[in-house]
């Protein structure tokens, strides 16, 4: 049997009755689109964050796209983010016609170097998208300070940080708005695609509700453009309602897996994840680092372990972004990381014996290098 970085089947067996009940509840409700499950999930997800509004959307990428548009980002604006992220962060900026501007990341925790933000601001800068990568938050005091000084909007990319805390505050409560993904692998995952934007601002929330519904306020009448069809699915919303009640338990499960790795891989020479000051990490991905990454991954295959790299290519070096004025060499830490990092299996239902097999195999492979 092959071990992968993520697998939901064990969790499904544990939660199957509740998931099937969620599906049945929606199918019997008579409301398949933007019905009571979406509204209730929005209320509950907003309440979890202590925020006034949550607007459910179809996926995390569109949570970012609509979030940027709702905050007033326009074609021609610049938006500052990082290149060490999932490509959708940058695709979303591109999709609204804005230009992504990259700052490098920190050597210790792979998060945005906020000390570089001020120099990245120009007259065209409209927003900052800090990415709470791998499960822990960017230094938000620094982001907020630069944004405040230059009149910029802040859209947190929380796709990897459900339940993470920064100096006690939940990810998604520190910017003007926050975009979440409920892609199945995420800390709060649906059984398909889903996303949401959380905000305290009424105007931003009503912009989002219009943007996800063809630019309409009432049925069939477009009041503004752009307009999308980006609704959160009713079935996914009902499943997410059930799973939201367990979010803190999922996070605790991930922390348990992380602690076992930290103990089991101590002294191997692998660089293990570091908690930045003030951060409660939720370990969306368990990223380790070693200069011989490619050989390690290759050899682990003979142990039946198929690992992943999050992410193998910095966004600014991909041909799809060749229109941006970045070349290899521009973001040295981001580029070096892409060659040295890899991810170990991480999900709350990971069985201890499976994890121990991974730890043993990694120890052996690294010792034999
Ligand atoms: C998953 C992810 C997204 C995109 O979410 P989708 O639901 O897959 O569209 C955006 N940003 C980051 C950092 C992600 O990890």
Question: How far does residue 268's CA lie from ligand 1's centre (Å)?
Answer: 31
Residue having the nearest C-alpha atom to atom 14 of ligand 1: 159
CATH architecture, range 9-103+113-244: 3-Layer(aba) Sandwich (3.40)
> How does strand 286-289 pair with strand 341-344?
antiparallel
Model pTM score: 0.98
Q: Residue ranges per domain, the chain?
A: 9-103+113-244, 247-368
Given the CA of residue 59, which atom of ligand 1 is nearest to it?
Answer: 7
From 6, 87, 89, give the residue whose CB has the most ligand 1 atoms within 8 Å, as the site to mutate. Answer: 89
CATH of 247-368 given 3.40.30.10, 3.90.1150.10, 3.90.226.10, 3.90.245.10:
3.90.1150.10
Q: What residues form DSSP beta bridges with 56?
A: 196
Place of tokens 């230009």: 99
CA distance 290 to 16: 39
Question: How far does residue 182's CA lie from ligand 1's centre (Å)?
Answer: 8
pLDDT at 218: 86
pLDDT at 242: 98
Given the CA of residue 92, which atom of ligand 1 is nearest to it?
Answer: 10
First to last CA, the chain: 25
Question: How far does residue 286's CA lie from ligand 1's centre (Å)?
Answer: 16
Question: How far does residue 93's CA lie from ligand 1's centre (Å)?
Answer: 13
How would you class 36 by CB atoms within 10 Å of its CB: exposed for 0-12, middle for 13-18, buried for 19 or more? Answer: middle
CA distance 314 to 87: 9
Query: What tens-digit pLDDT sequence spans the chain (369 residues)?
Result: 899 999 999 999 999 999 999 999 999 999 999 999 999 999 999 999 999 999 999 999 999 999 999 999 999 999 999 999 999 999 999 999 999 999 999 999 999 999 999 999 999 999 999 999 999 999 999 999 999 999 999 999 999 999 999 999 999 999 999 999 999 999 999 999 999 999 999 999 999 999 999 999 988 999 999 999 999 999 999 999 999 999 999 999 999 999 999 999 999 999 999 999 999 999 999 999 999 999 999 999 999 999 999 999 999 999 999 999 999 999 999 999 999 999 999 999 999 999 999 999 999 999 999
Q: Residues near 266 by Cβ (< 8 Å), separated by ≥ 6?
A: 272
Given the CA of residue 186, which atom of ligand 1 is nearest to it?
Answer: 1
Q: Residues near 76 by Cβ (< 8 Å), separated by ≥ 6?
A: 97, 98, 99, 124
Given the CA of residue 183, which atom of ligand 1 is nearest to it?
Answer: 7
Question: How far does residue 266's CA lie from ligand 1's centre (Å)?
Answer: 31
Rg, the chain, Cα only: 21
Given the CA of residue 195, which atom of ligand 1 is nearest to it?
Answer: 7
Residues with CB under 6 Å of ligand 1 are: 59-61, 85-86, 88-89, 131, 157, 159-160, 181, 183, 193, 195
Residue having the nearest C-alpha atom to atom 6 of ligand 1: 60
The reply to whether domains 9-103+113-244 and 247-368 share a CATH topology is: no
CA distance 354 to 1: 10
Closest CA to 312 of 136, 87, 133, 7: 87
pLDDT at 1: 85
Question: How far does residue 270's CA lie from ligand 1's centre (Å)?
Answer: 27
Question: How far does residue 86's CA lie from ligand 1's centre (Å)?
Answer: 6
């Amino acid at each position: 049997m092959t071990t992968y970085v993520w697998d939901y089947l064990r969790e499904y067996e544990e939660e199957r009755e509740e998931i099937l009940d969620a599906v049945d509840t929606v199918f019997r409700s008579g409301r398949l689109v933007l019905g009571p499950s979406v509204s209730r999930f929005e209320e509950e997800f907003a309440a979890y964050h202590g925020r006034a509004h949550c607007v459910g959307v179809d996926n995390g990428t569109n949570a970012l796209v609509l979030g940027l548009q709702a905050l007033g980002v326009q074609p021609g604006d610049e938006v500052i983010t990082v290149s060490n992220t999932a490509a959708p962060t940058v695709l979303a900026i591109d999709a609204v016609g804005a230009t992504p501007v990259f700052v490098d990341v920190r050597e210790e925790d792979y998060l945005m170097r906020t000390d570089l933000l001020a120099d990245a601001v120009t007259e065209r800068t409209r927003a900052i998208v800090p990415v709470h990568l791998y499960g822990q938050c960017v230094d938000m005091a620094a982001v907020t300070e630069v944004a405040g000084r230059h009149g910029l909007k802040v859209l947190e990319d929380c796709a990897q940080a459900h339940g993470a805390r920064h100096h006690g505050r939940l990810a998604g409560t520190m910017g003007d708005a926050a975009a979440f993904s409920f892609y199945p692998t995420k800390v709060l995952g649906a059984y398909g695609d889903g996303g949401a934007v959380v905000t305290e601002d009424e105007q931003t929330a009503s912009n989002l509700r219009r943007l996800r519904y063809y630019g309409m306020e009432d049925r069939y009448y477009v009041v503004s453009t752009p307009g999308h069809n980006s609704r959160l699915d009713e079935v996914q919303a009902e499943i997410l309602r059930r799973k939201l009640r367990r979010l803190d338990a999922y996070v605790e499960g991930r922390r348990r897996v992380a602690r076992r790795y930290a103990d089991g891989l101590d002294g191997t020479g692998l660089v293990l994840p570091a908690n930045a000051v003030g951060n409660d990490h939720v370990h969306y991905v368990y990223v380790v680092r070693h200069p011989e990454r490619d050989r390690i991954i290759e050899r682990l295959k003979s142990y039946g372990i198929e690992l992943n790299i999050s992410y193998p290519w910095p966004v600014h070096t991909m041909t799809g972004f060749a229109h941006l004025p970045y070349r290899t060499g521009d973001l040295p830490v981001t580029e070096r990381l892409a060659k040295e990092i890899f991810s170990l299996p991480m999900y709350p239902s990971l069985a201890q014996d499976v994890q121990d097999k991974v730890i043993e195999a990694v120890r052996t492979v690294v010792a034999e290098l």
